[in-house]
Amino acid sequence: MMSQDELAAIIKARNKRDTSDNQRSWEQTRRICFYTIAAMQGTKVFKKPEDVFGLVWDKKSKKLKKSKPMTKDEVYAKAMAARAYREKRVNKKGK
């Protein structure tokens, strides 16, 4: 039989491992996003993966700003602006 202290230690260790795995997964996602954006648009806006989006454990002393959710129209407008920018760059390179 295990005591409550032993069981608590096992649960705490497993929770720590799961948190670490979750953080690693989010870091990987952020890097993939960064390199995808960099390949498509260059690195003028985003200089490092942390610039793409912030995560809770980034710079714990600095508070992250909460932004309001974007509407469907705002998302569409940003996507169209990015598309126009990308097409402009492609056309510029092609000349």
In degrees and rounded to multiples of 5, residue 39 shows phi and psi of -70, -35
Residue 25's nearest CA partner among 57, 60, 59 is 57
Give the pLDDT confidence score for residue 83 in this predicted structure: 87
Give the pLDDT confidence score for residue 61 in this predicted structure: 45
Give the pLDDT confidence score for residue 60 in this predicted structure: 61
Give the pLDDT confidence score for residue 13 in this predicted structure: 92
Structure tokens at 11: 């649960």
* Single pTM value for the model: 0.52
Note the pLDDT tens digit of each residue in 62-92. 555 667 788 889 888 888 888 888 888 778 7
Note the pLDDT tens digit of each residue in 13-70. 999 898 889 999 999 999 999 888 888 888 788 888 888 888 888 876 455 566 778 8
Q: Which ranges in 3-94 belong to alpha helices (H)?
A: 4-41, 72-94
Give the pLDDT confidence score for residue 62 in this predicted structure: 54
Question: Phi-psi bin for 64: left (phi > 0), alpha (psi -120 to 50), beta?
Answer: beta
Mutual angle of helices 4-41 and 72-94, in 10-degree steps: 50
